[in-house]
Amino acid sequence: MARTRADISRVALKVLTDEGTDALTHGHVAELAGYSKTTLYTHWPSRVDLILLALDAIGEMPHQERSGDLRADLVGELQVFRRVVLDYRLDQILAVMAQWASVDEMARVRDQINTDGQKPIRGMLAELFTGSELEAAISMLSGVVACPTMMFGSLPDDDVIEAAVDLVLRGSKRKPSR
């Protein structure tokens, strides 16, 4: 089963990134992966299951290696996030899903992306913030990439990312290490 899962997840990711969400059907993925539609429907009964499986193929999303300079690390992490959105077409995946997926299905995909994607930023910001301030800071910084991507179809440039990081860091009570 592990080999089947790995094969299907790789093909599902390739279909998503090369052809888009409309092409992500059980029949198409089964054909390209060399498995029956029955196998796919048995283990991954919905398109959302196939999308989640495709996201598994990404594995651990790439992240900025920490340097010890909090500002540079946060800026670098957001730049990597911007690259992941572009390379894996996460904006298009979420936009198309919003048209046909249920609220619960969207939440499953969003939670999977957020859990891995926000882990490094959460760890860095936890040095400065706790509780609701930590959650607000994470939302502000991840939102600087996610919001313009989803709402306006554009990615922020480095100046916008740096300005957002500077605003969040100025809001902390502790002086960040440089």
Structural domain containing residue 157: 63-170
Q: Is residue 175 situated within a structural domain?
A: no
- 84 and 50 co-located in one domain: no
Structural contact between residues 99 and 162, judged by C-beta atoms closer than 8 angstroms: no
Q: Is residue 178 situated within a structural domain?
A: no
- 83 and 156 co-located in one domain: yes
**How does pLDDT run across 106-119, given as a tens digit for each residue?**
777 777 777 777 88
- 72 and 160 co-located in one domain: yes
**How does pLDDT run across 49-95, given as a tens digit for each residue?**
888 888 777 766 788 899 999 999 999 999 998 998 888 777 777 77
Burial annotation 120-146 (CB, 10 A radius, 16+ → b, else e): bbbebbeebbeeeeeeebbebbbebbb
Residue tagged 């957002």 (tokens): 164
The pTM of this model reads 0.75
- 91 and 152 co-located in one domain: yes
